Structure 1
Amino acid sequence: MSPYKIKKYILILLLPLMFGALTACNNNESDSKDDSGSITDSLFGKKELPQASTDSLFIKQYISKEPEFNEHAELMYLFYGDRDYELAWFRDNELVPQVEKFLNVIDSSSVEGLNPDKYKIVNFNELFQKYEQMDPQDSARLVLQQQIDVALTASYFNYASDFYRGRVNPQTQSNVHWAVKRNKIKLHKALQTILQERESTYPYYEFEALHAGYTRLRDALNNYRDLQEKGGWPKVELGGKKTLQKGDSAQAVAVLRKRLNPTQPIDVNDKRLWVFDEHLEKQVKMFQMLHGLAQDGIVGGGTLSTMNIPIEDRIDQIMINMERWRWIPKRMVPKSLDQKYIWVNIPEYKLYIYEDPNNDPEAEREYKEVMNMRVVVGKTMNATPIFSDKMEYVVMAPYWNVPNSIVEREIKPKMLNNPGWLASQNMEIVTKEKNPQPVSPYEIDWESVTEKNFQYMVRQKPGPKNSLGQIKFLFPNEHAIYLHDTPADALFSQTERNFSHGCVRLEKPVELAKYILKDMPEWNETRIRETMNGGEEEWVTLPKKVQVYLVYFTSWVDDSGNVHFRQDLYGHDKKLKQEYFG
């Protein structure tokens, strides 16, 4: 029964009582009128209609007028359906405190790298003022209540979708390469948390982000914007010099000091600052480290061009990497797995392992770094894909099963030139079956071989010269990508390490094996090394899978608060900028 009908029935029942009270007080006509007013007020409280509710038809009609709202129609029906279409932002006809907090979040959303104007579709101040001025007994006020409530909810989903899931949807944008598992945050549940109607381990009630990597970049963004307002940093020009290094003396050295210390009051005309001293060399090396450059302390070439990237470009770079953090799942590791994960940042050429020391599946933001190592990733033409999966196997003394694309592109020309080339590389050709049978390379018409028609398998036998080294770590995926050892250890000394066909080569594979197999005591370091060198392929199935991420961040902030930048190795930043700012 509706609240209006209930009040009607109560009124009918109470009319005799009210009539008796009025006749008993009939000694004074004016007094009886005052008493009747006080009696009805005491019976019904304020002269105010009860709070409205809404329905799916009202919601449909309202959000259909705004494309940004209609985009989140499913969330609107889920949210209101869960609450039987009761209003969310009103209590006893008054707006709840979370309204002001939410609207303040929208006003300040530029700090998140978002545009506040995108979320100010409704003029709420105008609606609030109109609501306050209406007669509490005016039924039109109830309609306005619905309008305000639905508008607030739709505005929340419009904002929260961008803030928590990202402005750009990598699943629907074909030119944005990102196949990491989706951030499946339930925004209607998040809103329930904000309204204090449910509990959550996530900071939704504070309208806060889910990952420390994001919040650190957000702080960096606002620091860089402050610096931009003060003029940014100067361009370093060497004049007739090719480089600047310790011992040099020139005005360009003072400009270099200003570039590396942009917030300090440095007078570039002060000749005492023209000498390139040891302290400045340390600052240059620090700059080189933060930008993935060779740390030689010399300013020129790549270091100079990197220094002269405008602050506006760096601000954009920070913003698109904040966007990538929005795509990262709110739960880094499923509850069913041990709380640890492998994180390969492709542009950084680095692998990290993070774990929760207490292995607590509820400690969502408490992972600590326990290991890191250098890696080699794919060349530009063989870009390492961005995705996530779960490691299931460790394979020691592995075969390398050569992809057909490499057979056509690289092996075919060598076999046409030298039919004995495969044997010289400890390679063989076998049939594609459970028990592979050898095939003579002389029986194959190499001239006609293509990636699609080659029906056999070329594989390299286990051994120290195997292209996979002596161990590999498998997380079966559609890309046929994995982590592995390599005989080409010298490549890890390079600053830029994009040399592979797409898989990730490891600087310290034995250390990774020890870590992954540490819960299997039979696999100590001695046995691992013996098996790796044994010449017989052996597979080890992990008792629990391990979460793996291959990601692409060209800017991040480390634990010490230093902001890092890297080159856009595969051009993904450029494409994301077009979508994000376009």
Structure 2
Amino acid sequence: MVVRDGARGRARQMMGSVALVLSLALSAPLAAETTSAFARSLATAASAEAPVAEWYRQTGYDTLWTGPEDAARRAALFAALETAHDHGLPPARYDLAGLRAAFAAAQTEGDLGRLEVAMTRSYLAWAGDLTSGLLVPRQIDPTIVREIPLRDPQELLRAIAGDDPAAVLHGLIPSSTVYAQLMKAKIGLEDRMARGGWGPPVPGGALAPGDSGGRVVALRDRLIAMGYLARTPTRDYDRSIQRAVQSFQLAHGLPADGVAGEATIAEINIGPDARLKSVIVAMERERWLHIDRTVRHIWVNQPDFTARIVDHGRTVFRTRVVIGKDVPDQRSPEFSDEMEHIVVNPSWGVPRSITVKEYLPLLQRNPNAVGHLQVVDRSGRVVSRGAVNFAAYNARNFPFALRQPPSDGNALGKVKFMFPNQYNIYLHDTPSKSLFDNDVRAYSHGCIRVADPFDLAHALLSVQSDAVEEEFNAYLKSGRETTVKFEKTVPVHLVYYTAYPEAKGRMGYRRDVYGRDAKLWQALADAGVELGADSQ
């Protein structure tokens, strides 16, 4: 676990004893030797952290928190820190109780100097965690390669030193509607857990329309508790239960057939505590994700196996996708970039890892293997296989590349969607259409395969052409590799949310196909994040 250094509670009032201590200590002008004692203790306490030490040097060791004129600022910080649990952050990290106790116990200028620094440290940790996340994600999972901007501590300190600290603290909270919906879901799940959860799990195997009896009652009660079914006395798997099961299936990425098969029952029996973990991890992901959702963008949620074009918050195009296999070097990464162009009739430059791990051993056994691929040298020239002694090379020194020219059987299909990046990840067509019939679609080497690539191309190009289908079809029929640039790049976000708000704010949940969220939750728990209650 790596923790970054860096709303429901109401602010408690400062204890009368704290106010009295501060008033007696600071209301009158301080003698030179007393001021020196405060500055010395403050400087010593701040010396271990350069940004804190630099701030106080620049301000002449003026107070942010411990002076009588700082009452509103410290009250605002205390009120903010009280909401740590609601944000899925560990309250102990900010030590609100310890800060309050230190104010109550402060007797000397040395005490106040150390307390001043402790308050600043808590504020910077709070501000950093809210704006950039508690964890350093790629150190938890190396496939989370998202670039996360970090706020400058000096900037944060200048902001809180201003005239409206409450507004500054509120402004640290992620502003996305998604974050607010996740927080609402978190509080709701904790409330449900405190009231005993969703009741007993549904026993046994599948249930279907026409069934009746105790197991149907258990299913009914579970659906009522989760909010998918209005209260009803029925013991039969009737139309109302069928519709509720369909709603549940849609919200959990399952085929919406209204039949409570084994996969559906398994999802229904997952308790609110597990769902709460997904929501808390999703809140952490939102703290990493500094994007503008109001602009037109491509959203690929890997556990949902879909790609969408979202325009001003509305999904205007959706297609199924295949993501990377669940093996260490083939899982699709998480990052954001700008899609710049598409390539029609693409050739496939086989990635180096695939070339040397999968194809070189085949070529060493039989130089005529994988005949659909060309052998090319460093200049991109096609080399005769007869001129290459494949047995003379290994994975480290093989000097050639492999390329598949445009064709109906090309691994990239007929079109690829490019956002050039160091990970060599992009969206593309595929000749393996049958894979899209599966519910769990993790089969690629890391790139995103698209079920409806021509429709996606039409949707993306429609903003710059009134004859997009005719033009695109002409490119296809030519058989030539053709690059079509976008007049305006399109943000593309490869994300991984197992909990995400769907229509009307209802939470949707997906399976943790790569186990990424499990690792993130463990890191958050190791950092002190706790669930609200025990649940069955």
Question: Shift in Å at residue 563 of structure 1?
Answer: 1.2
The amino acid that maps onto 2:353 is: S
1:180 is aligned to: 146
The 1-side partners of 2:386 and 2:40 are apart by: 74
Count residues with an aligned counterpart: 496
Match of 1:170 in 2: 137
CA distance in 1, matches of 2:150, 2:239: 51
Q: Quick one: distance in 2 between partners of 1:238 and 1:462?
A: 53
Q: Structure 1: which amino acid aligns with 2:180? A: T
TM-score for both structures, normalised by structure 2:
0.81
2:232 paired with 1:257: no
Are 1:303 and 2:264 an aligned pair?
yes
Query: SS of 1:96's equivalent?
Result: helix
Q: Which residue pairs with 1:61 in the alignment?
A: 44
1:456 corresponds in structure 2 to 400
1:49 aligns with 2:15: no
Shift of the 377–227 alpha-carbon distance from structure 1 to 2, 3 Å rule, reads same
| Secondary structure, aligned partner of 1:560 | helix
Change (3 A) 1:180 1:297: same
- 2:408 is paired with a residue whose SS is coil
Q: Which residue of 1 aligns with 2:84?
A: 109
The equivalences for 1:212-223 within 5 A come to 212-223=177-188
Q: CA offset at residue 432 of structure 1?
A: 2.5
CA distance in 1 between partners of 2:84 and 2:219 (Å)? 34
Give the alignment partner of residue 560 of structure 1, picking from 504, 510, 513: 504
- Change beyond 3 A, Cα 1:340–1:267: closer
Q: 2:18: which partner in 1?
A: none
User: Which residue in 1 is equivalent to 2:353?
Assistant: 405
Corresponding residue for residue 298 of structure 2: 342
User: Structure 2 unaligned runs (5+)?
Assistant: 1-25, 527-536
- d(CA) in 2 for partners of 1:82, 1:536: 64
Give 1:466's aligned residue: 410
Instruction: Please give the secondary structure, in 2, of the residue aligned with 1:159.
Output: helix
For the 8 Å contact 1:191–1:204, the answer to whether it is kept is no
Q: Paired residue for 1:487?
A: 431
Spell out, residue by residue over 1:309-364, the C-alpha distance to the aligned partner (whole angstroms, 9 max, x if none): 232222222212211222223x549xxxx9443222111112233445xxxxxxxx
One-letter amino acid of the counterpart of residue 238, structure 2: D
Conserved? CA contact 2:130–2:172, under 8 Å: no
> Is residue 2:48 matched to residue 1:87?
no
Specify whether residues 191 and 560 from structure 1 end up closer, same or farther in structure 2 by C-alpha distance, changes over 3 A only. Answer: farther
Asked if 2 retains the 8 angstrom alpha-carbon contact of 1:238 and 1:244, the reply is no
Alpha-carbon distance in structure 2 between the residues aligned to 1:519 and 1:77: 53
1:88-487 equivalences in 2 (<5 Å):
88-89=64-65, 93-120=68-95, 123-129=98-104, 146-171=113-138, 173=139, 175=141, 177-197=143-163, 204-239=169-204, 242-262=205-225, 272-329=233-290, 331-332=291-292, 339-356=295-312, 368-381=314-327, 382-412=330-360, 422-423=370-371, 425=372, 427-433=373-379, 436-446=380-390, 450-487=394-431
Q: Whose relative contact order is higher, 1 or 2, with alpha carbons under 8 Å and at least 6 apart?
A: 2
Moved more, 298-307 or 143-152: 143-152
| Alignment partner of 2:477 out of 514, 522, 533 | 533
Q: 1:243 is matched by which residue type in structure 2? A: A
- Residues 310 and 237 (structure 1 numbering): CA distance in 2 closer, same or farther, change over 3 Å? same
Q: Deviations for 1:243-271, whole angstroms, at most 9, x for unmatched residues?
A: 2100001201111111111168x999x9x
C-alpha displacement of 1:396: 1.6
Residue 289 of structure 1: how far off its partner (Å)? 1.9
Match for 1:499: what amino acid? Answer: Y
CA contact (8 A) 1:342 1:547 kept: yes
Q: Tell me how far apart the structure 2 counterparts of residues 539 and 195 of structure 1 sit (CA, whole Å).
A: 52
Matched to 1:403, the amino acid is: P
Are the counterparts in 1 of residues 140 and 523 from structure 2 also a CA contact under 8 Å? no
Kindly report the root-mean-square deviation, in angstroms, between the aligned alpha carbons of the 2 structures: 3.6
1:404–1:454: 8 Å Cα contact kept in structure 2? no
TM-score (norm 1): 0.75
Provide the secondary structure at the position in 1 that maps to 2:208.
Answer: coil
Given that 1:392 and 1:474 are in contact with CA atoms closer than 8 Å, whether structure 2 keeps it comes out as yes
Distance (whole Å) between structure 1 residues aligned to residue 155 and residue 317 of structure 2: 36
CA contact 1:177–1:572 (8 Å) conserved in 2: no
Residue 504 of structure 1 corresponds to which residue in structure 2?
Answer: 448
Aligned residue identity for 1:284: V
